[in-house]
Amino acid sequence: MEHRYLGKSGLKVSAITYGNWLTHGSQVENDIATQCVHAALDAGITSFDTADTYANTAAETVLGTALKGQRRESLEIFTKVYWPTGPMGPNDTGLSRKHIMESVNASLKRLGTDYLDLYQAHRFDTETPLEETMQAFADVVRQGKALYIGVSEWTADQLRAGHALSKQLGFQLISNQPQYSALWRVIEDGVVPVSRELGISQIVWSPVAQGVLTGKYKPGAELPSGTRATDVAGGANSIQSWLRPAVLTGVQKLVPIAEANGLTMAQLAVAWVLQNDNVASAIIGASRPEQVAENVKAAGVRLSERTMEAIDEAIGDVAERDAAQTAANAPKTRVV
């Protein structure tokens, strides 16, 4: 397993991070979830990402149980705060000092650890002063509850403002967690250049575009049963925009490229995001242990310039590149 520095910090993370969004505590039985985590460990993955909102806190509990007994110092455990949790009362969401302080304590308890390696703002909170949020994160670090601070889906301007405050307050803002794949490239023109300037790395989610880049969805064909596209509770609504014929046709053009490189389609997709030098790690999920073992083979793969060009030609104009999409998809007010 390849390991990369996260931002300008001294923290190294595995190039593949195991994440449990939409699986642990909901789609996948706990024993299978534990098997997937152990498969990740066996494959050399040391970084694990979750969030308090996943399965309304249950995902953190499942991950903590699965990691029980492992040497804590050999792991990098990430979680996030922002979205509603618990009974979803008026203070059970957002990035207020109250919610951050209560959430970090609850996450530590569920994960069974004394500290987090990375604590992340799951979105930008437009209704709380940024100074309040960053001061709370500074205190979380000083109290030893988190070693580093990151964010998720922040715009270039938000990253710049947050980074400036973190420097003033004496802690490091070292990462951003955006969606990124060969089909979703909105971070390339704004977020990535600013992040390189500030010393912030990307930990990217959905590198296989929620399974679309595996090639299992064929243009004009029925959706395979048991897949995310047919599971209303497992993300069917969020995947719909990728099921357009033009997108699926472009994805099928990637099949010979993957074969020529001796890779599965999923491995090609993960290897593609890891070619970006601002990407420290790609998050993969799994509903079966064997999926972890296969996808982790993308770590360390170097795609040639010719292969990267061929991927661009295959995808063509169906890839979303508009930098404004990060802000457009962000919550304008808190969800309660």
Domain assignment present for 311: no
Q: What is the pTM of this model?
A: 0.93
In a domain, 227, yes or no: no
pLDDT tens figures, 141-188 = 999 999 999 999 999 999 999 999 999 999 999 999 999 999 999 999
For residue 92, give the CATH number of its domain. 3.20.20.100
- Tell me whether residue 161 is in a domain: yes
Domain ranges, residue 195: 3-209+271-301
Nearest-CA neighbor of 327 among 163, 195, 155?
155
Residue 207 · residue 214 · CB < 8 Å:
no
For residue range 217-251, list pLDDT tens digits in order. 898 767 766 666 555 555 556 677 788 999 999 99
CA distances, 257 to each of 247, 306, 315, 327 (Å): 16, 10, 12, 33
DSSP classification of residue 244:
S
Domain membership flag for residue 329: no
Domain count, the chain: 1
Residue 140 within any structural domain of the chain: yes
148 catalytic, yes or no? no
Q: Is residue 174, in this structure, part of any structural domain at all?
A: yes
The tens digit of pLDDT for each residue in 33-88 reads 899 999 999 999 999 999 999 989 999 999 999 999 999 999 999 999 999 998 88
Q: Which of 18, 54, 148, 217 is catalytic?
A: 54
Domain assignment present for 95: yes
The answer to whether residue 310 is domain-embedded is no
